[in-house]
């Protein structure tokens, strides 16, 4: 029998059917849709009901191809949430983490709450869009929605609730809030109280692989399908992506490469050191009690948003076209720090990149080829920076980097990453999050004994492309100039 994994990224969602045939995993994309935020007045929202509609299309398409489903699970991007009223109704449309309402909130919280204490309690990086600061912004604005709320559900939990009627939190996504204590393994209720946030919003947390209900009867009746078991996957997409890294060694470095670039390593316990805090590393909950010690890098959002700006101006390019132009553009002209706060919100990304380069005394990139080259080189060089920090903070050394996610379709970025880090890159699978989601369901069903066995099967089932580093001396020299130009050193 097949199982279904919904992987909902910030740029697109997909429903992937999986089955095990002999020793191999087979995965088929049954439905894919773009995930388009909607601006309403000055607020940026997720279109939650459209996402739910698209998820139902995945179930319908599964039915139409005559496939019987044993189970489903969901993973999504982190930090965002919906609030439910006392009757279980969804109050309002969830905000997008790039919405402006969190501006200044992290700073405000940190005036009242010691940063070292906050990191020590949660192990989570300081990002202005964390659930903590979103809730704080709502509190400061005296939000009527927050005032009426009885439950908070993070995005995958909310979608699971809409499909099952059951309200459970899941560990990996809960940790992204910066309100979960990974040592106590529960919500940090003392912290929640100190911040003046309603404690009642936070309920029971289950681990990845827990059976969390069945599709509700209204859904099965509407779609004309039978009841299906629903599991909690590692419901944070990065957690699912890392579950699918086909590493042979237990000590590996990964780069989950999509809208965001998440680079780091898996650890047994959260690393709560001053060095981890100073470098703004995070410890997100993973599968089998592991944690993901990693750094967020702004990622291919920079290219997605540039592409949208060019589209608005009437010039439509595909990703492969942009990559081809980047390859033809002159090398090592100008770089950005992808993580500069100016790049976080939606807007005219090419203009912001040009301004950044002008302000740092670099040649100003012009046109899609030069801008794309600037983005991709800057990402590859920043990956080296983050990988070196991962080694220092974890005390591990890595002989290469595993890359998963849609970004591995960008072969130029994979090669430049290998060149920049000076070590091989092993790219695959592109649909890491969906495959990790399926793997957790199979472990729960006893198809795999543990995550190591599932990773072995993933390695056997999906192509892994090796990129050996090229022009190492040139890239090493470029890296030295990059850290100076971007002020990273
Ligand atoms: P998310 O899950 O965050 O929505 P994905 O993992 O799906 O993101 O990765 C999306 C990114 O992958 C795109 O922004 C794009 O940069 C890259 N990508 C996808 N398809 C291609 C392609 N055919 N060629 C080059 N890059 C691609
Ligand atoms: C990647 C991701 C990342 C979060 C961000 C909000 O999709 O889940 O791990 O920090 O989205």
- When the pLDDT of each residue in the chain is averaged and rounded to a whole number, the result is 97
Q: Is the CB of 306 under 6 A from ligand 1?
A: no
Q: What are the structure tokens assigned to 215, written together?
A: 């599709």
Cα 449 to ligand 1 centre (Å): 32
State how far Cα 235 lies from the chain centre: 10
In the chain, pLDDT over 70 holds for what percent of residues? 100
Among 35, 75, 311, 409, the mutation site with the greatest number of ligand 1 atoms within 8 A of its Cβ is 409
Confidence label for 23 from pLDDT (cuts 50, 70 and 90): confident
Which tens digits make up the pLDDT trace of 277-313? 999 999 999 999 999 999 999 999 999 999 999 999 9
Q: Are strands 69-76 and 2-8 parallel, antiparallel or unpaired?
A: parallel
Name which residue sits closest to atom 8 of ligand 2, judged by CA.
77
Question: In the sheet where 282-285 sits, what is the strand order?
Answer: 282-285, 291-297, 261-267, 253-257, 401-404, 425-427, 465-467
Cα 417 to ligand 2 centre (Å): 20
Which tens digits make up the pLDDT trace of 206-244? 999 999 999 999 999 999 999 999 999 999 999 999 999
Q: Is 237 a catalytic residue?
A: yes
Query: Which pLDDT value is given to residue 388?
Result: 98
Q: Is the CB of 324 under 6 A from ligand 1?
A: no
Confidence label for 198 from pLDDT (cuts 50, 70 and 90): very high
Contacts for 61 with CB less than 8 Å, ≥ 6 apart = 15, 30, 31
16 touches 434 (CB < 8 A): yes
Confidence label for 101 from pLDDT (cuts 50, 70 and 90): very high
Which tens digits make up the pLDDT trace of 403-440? 999 999 999 999 999 999 999 999 999 999 999 999 99
Residue 125, phi then psi, degrees to nearest 5: -60, 155
Q: Is the CB of 296 under 6 A from ligand 2?
A: yes
379 touches 297 (CB < 8 A): yes
Cα 407 to ligand 1 centre (Å): 5
Helix runs in 3-154, H state only: 48-64, 105-112, 115-122, 131-140, 144-148
Question: Read out DSSP for 84-127?
Answer: E-TTS-EESPPBPTTSGGGTTHHHHHHHHS-HHHHHHHH-----
Which tens digits make up the pLDDT trace of 344-372? 999 999 999 999 999 999 999 999 999 99
Query: Which pLDDT value is given to residue 432?
Result: 98
Query: Which pLDDT value is given to residue 390?
Result: 98
Query: Which pLDDT value is given to residue 271?
Result: 98
Ligand 2: which atom is nearest the Cα of residue 282?
Answer: 10
Query: Which pLDDT value is given to residue 371?
Result: 98
pTM above 0.95, yes or no: yes
Q: Is the CB of 333 under 6 A from ligand 1?
A: no
Query: Which pLDDT value is given to residue 302?
Result: 98
Query: Which pLDDT value is given to residue 472?
Result: 94
Q: Is the CB of 75 under 6 A from ligand 2?
A: no
Nearest to 406 by CA among 1, 6, 2, 13: 13
Q: Is the CB of 429 under 6 A from ligand 1?
A: no
Name which residue sits closest to atom 27 of ligand 1, judged by CA.
409
Q: What does the domain layout of the chain look like in residue ranges?
A: 2-231, 236-428+464-489
- DSSP-assigned letter for residue 129: T
The SS3 assignment for 211 reads strand
Quote the Cα angle for 287-32-261, to 5°: 50
The SS3 assignment for 291 reads strand
Q: Which of 80, 99, 237, 337 is catalytic?
A: 237
Ligand 1: which atom is nearest the Cα of residue 35?
Answer: 4
Inter-residue long-range contacts of 199-203, CB under 8 Å, 24+ positions, other chains counted: 200/150, 200/151, 201/83, 201/149, 201/150, 201/151, 201/152, 202/152, 202/169, 203/151, 203/167, 203/168, 203/169
Q: Is the CB of 238 under 6 A from ligand 2?
A: yes
Q: What are the structure tokens assigned to 359, written together?
A: 């302000």
The helix-helix angle for 432-444 and 451-461 (nearest 10°) equals: 130
Report whether pLDDT(483) > 80. Answer: yes
Alpha carbon distance 95, 45 (integer Å):
4
Which tens digits make up the pLDDT trace of 385-405? 999 999 999 999 999 999 999
Among 76, 77, 306, 407, the mutation site with the greatest number of ligand 1 atoms within 8 A of its Cβ is 407
CB atoms within 10 A of CB 213: 19
Query: Which pLDDT value is given to residue 249?
Result: 87
**Up-side HSE of residue 433: CA atoms within 13 Å toward CB?**
30
Alpha carbon distance 281, 132 (integer Å):
17
Query: Which pLDDT value is given to residue 250?
Result: 84
Q: Which helix (H) or strand (E) holds 451?
A: helix 451-461
CATH superfamily placement of domain 2-231: ATPase, nucleotide binding domain (3.30.420.40)
Q: Is the CB of 237 under 6 A from ligand 2?
A: yes
Overall average pLDDT of the 231-258 stretch: 96
Q: What are the structure tokens assigned to 265, written together?
A: 């390593």
Q: What are the structure tokens assigned to 23, written together?
A: 């020793």
Query: Which pLDDT value is given to residue 437?
Result: 98
Q: Is the CB of 7 under 6 A from ligand 2?
A: no
The complex scores an ipTM of 0.99
The SS3 assignment for 449 reads coil
Name which residue sits closest to atom 7 of ligand 2, judged by CA.
77
Q: Which ligand is nearest to the CA of 173?
A: 2
Q: Is the CB of 259 under 6 A from ligand 2?
A: yes
Report whether pLDDT(489) > 80. Answer: no
- Evaluate whether 2-231 and 236-428+464-489 have a shared fold: yes
73 touches 440 (CB < 8 A): yes
CATH superfamily placement of domain 236-428+464-489: ATPase, nucleotide binding domain (3.30.420.40)
Cα 406 to ligand 1 centre (Å): 4
Ligand 1: which atom is nearest the Cα of residue 8?
Answer: 2
């Amino acid at each position: 029998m097949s199982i279904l994994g919904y992987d909902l990224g910030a740029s697109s969602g997909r429903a992937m059917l999986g089955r095990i045939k002999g020793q191999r995993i087979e995965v088929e994309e049954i439905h894919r849709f773009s995930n388009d935020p909607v601006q309403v007045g000055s607020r940026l929202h997720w279109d939650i009901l459209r996402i739910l509609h698209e998820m139902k299309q995945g179930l319908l398409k599964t039915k139409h191809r005559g496939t019987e489903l044993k189970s489903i699970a969901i993973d999504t991007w982190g930090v965002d949430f919906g609030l439910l009223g006392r009757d279980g109704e969804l109050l309002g449309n969830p905000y997008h983490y790039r919405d402006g309402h969190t501006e200044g909130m992290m700073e405000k919280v940190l005036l009242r709450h010691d940063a070292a204490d906050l990191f020590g309690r949660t192990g989570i990086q300081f990002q202005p869009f964390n659930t903590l600061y979103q809730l704080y912004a709502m509190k400061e604005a005296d939000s009527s929605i927050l005032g009426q709320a009885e439950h908070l559900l993070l995005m995958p939990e909310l979608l699971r609730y809409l499909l099952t009627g059951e309200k459970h939190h899941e560990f990996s996504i809960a940790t992204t809030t910066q309100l979960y204590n990974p040592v106590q393994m529960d919500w940090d209720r003392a912290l929640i109280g100190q911040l003046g946030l309603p404690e009642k919003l936070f309920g029971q947390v289950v681990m990845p692989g827990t059976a969390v209900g069945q599709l509700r009867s209204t859904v099965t009746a509407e779609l004309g399908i039978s009841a299906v078991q629903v599991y909690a996957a590692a419901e944070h997409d990065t957690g699912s992506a890392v579950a699918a890294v086909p590493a042979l060694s237990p000590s590996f470095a990964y780069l989950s490469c999509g809208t965001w670039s998440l680079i780091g390593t898996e650890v047994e316990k959260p690393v709560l050191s001053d060095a981890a805090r100073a470098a703004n590393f995070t410890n997100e909950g993973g599968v089998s009690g592991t944690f993901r010690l990693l750094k967020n890098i702004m990622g291919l959002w920079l290219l997605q948003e540039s592409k949208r700006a060019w589209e608005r101006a009437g010039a439509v390019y595909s990703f492969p076209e942009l990559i081809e132009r980047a390859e033809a553009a002159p090398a090592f002209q100008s770089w950005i720090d992808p993580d500069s706060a100016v790049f976080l919100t939606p807007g005219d990304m090419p203009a912001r990149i040009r301004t950044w380069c002008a302000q740092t005394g670099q040649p100003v990139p012009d046109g899609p080829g030069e801008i794309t080259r600037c983005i991709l080189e800057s990402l590859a060089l920043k990956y080296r920076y983050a990988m070196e920090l991962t080694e220092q903070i974890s005390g591990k050394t890595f002989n290469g980097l595993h890359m998963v996610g849609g970004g591995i379709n960008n072969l130029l970025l994979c090669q430049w990453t290998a060149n920049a880090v000076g070590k091989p890159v092993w790219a695959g699978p592109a649909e890491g999050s969906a495959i990790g989601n399926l793997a957790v369901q199979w472990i729960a069903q006893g198809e795999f004994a543990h995550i190591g066995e599932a990773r072995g099967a993933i390695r056997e089932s999906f192509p892994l492309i090796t990129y050996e580093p090229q022009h190492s001396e040139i890239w090493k020299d470029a890296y030295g100039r990059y850290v100076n130009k971007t002020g990273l050193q």
